[in-house]
Structure formats: structure tokens, C-alpha cells
Chains A and B, each alone.
Chain A
Amino acid sequence: DGGITQSPKYLFRKEGQNVTLSCEQNLNHDAMYWYRQDPGQGLRLIYYSQIVNDFQKGDIAEGYSVSREKKESFPLTVTSAQKNPTAFYLCASSIFAGQNSPLHFGNGTRLTVT
């Protein structure tokens, strides 16, 4: 079955450490996205990529970094510069980065930083 795989499901880190969240898709989608979800809030966009080797900052990119070296993969690094990293992180993809293209989501990674 085609889909988006995020790993790990739960991740625990000490404050001051960088951590990388994995996102892989086998849907052959061009566009990929990272969102952050906090309780009682909608999703907020961290980074997006419309094509391999290209990515753009979203609304809350500070303290995060990404790469898009392969079409299938869009890893997110949460750096020590992110002030409040504890959150639920969702990766998504779409066929193309157009207005009518719905997103397909992974099952998320819950990151806890203490």
C-alpha cells in the first residue's frame, strides 16, 4: 500500500540536543510538508518542498531545518534553537503543490523534550 511513514512514533530527548524526524513516502508525490500540532490549535506549517533539492520556510521555521535530497524523503531536524520543541509533528505530501491538491498525512511523531 502506498503511504507516508513517519518514524519513530514517540521520541524523547534532552534539552539542548538536536533530533531528526524521519518522513518517507512511496506515493510518487512531488510536494512534501512538515506541520507542527499543539493541543487546541490547528496545524502550523514549518517547511515545505515542492520538488527535490528545493524547500521553503513556512510560518514557524525558526529552530528547524530540512533537506530534500530524494523525492521520497523529507527529514526534519529540530535544533536546540527551537524554544518549545515538545509537540506532535506531522509530515504530509501532495501530488503537486497546487491549490486543489489534497494532502496525505503520516501518523505523526510525538516529540518530548525535557
Chain B
Amino acid sequence: AQSVTQLDSHVSVSEGTPVLLRCNYSSSYSPSLFWYVQHPNKGLQLLLKYTSAATLVKGINGFEAEFKKSETSFHLTKPSAHMSDAAEYFCVVSVSSGGYNKLIFGAGTRLAVHP
């Protein structure tokens, strides 16, 4: 069975310091993996996606994620946090199921950025 675990429900960093949001997945097949960001009362916006090409994926707003098959992880990082990065982040695994794009969402990590 496929699943996604976001290891931290809340992460707090100071502006200008690195960000690490952790995600582990379980999948019987070669998954596609995504990170989405959600600002309050908004929809989700795609940050980046992994689809079995390069294991280090660069996304928007300076974020990147590394796919590590041996660790079944897809952690999201950013070298220097900005106040505007404060939001909720979702790790998502996508698998094909009967021709349908089945997305499995993690529970989310709320990132707080302090001055």
C-alpha cells in the first residue's frame, strides 16, 4: 500500500536560516513525488515534482528536494528562509491506479518563519 509520512507537523525557523521539511513515502511502484505549498485560505501551488529523472529536483522560490530511493525519502530544503515562506507544505505521492492519477497526501507541515 502507498503512503506518505511527513515527519514534522510544525517547523519553526529564523529568517535567513536553512529550511528542512522531511517526507518519507511507501510505494510498491516507482512513484512520482510532489511538494505543494498552501498559504492560508488558498489552494495548493506546485513547488516541484520528481518523475524518475534527476534525483535532485529544483523548484520555485529557491526550494529543492532530493529523491533517495534507499531511504524512501523526499525531503524539501531551502538554503535561506524568507518570511513569505511561512505556509503549510504537503508531500504527495502519485501512483497510477486503473488509469487514474491517484494522489496520496501527507498530513502537512506548517512552517513558521521568525524575524
Contacts and interface: CB of A to CB of B under 8 A. Distances in A.
Interface stretch (A62-70, A79-87, A96-104): A96-104
Contacts of B43: 4, 6, 90, 92, 105-108
B7 interface: no
A54 to B, nearest CB: 11
A42 B32 CA distance: 17
Among B34, B51, B100, B105, residue most surrounded by chain A Cβ atoms (within 10 Å): B100
Contacts, number: 70
Given A40-B9, A41-B107, A102 B34 contact: yes
Contact of A100 (B42, B46, B51, B104): B51
A74 interface: no
Interface in A1-39: 4, 6, 9, 31
A55 to B, nearest CB: 11
Interface residues of B, number: 28
B67 interface: no
Nearest to B98: A56
Interface of A: 4, 6, 9, 31, 40-45, 48, 50, 56, 88, 90, 92, 94, 96-108, 110
Closest 4 pairs between A and B when the two form their complex, measured CB to CB: A42-B105, A105-B43, A99-B96, A105-B44
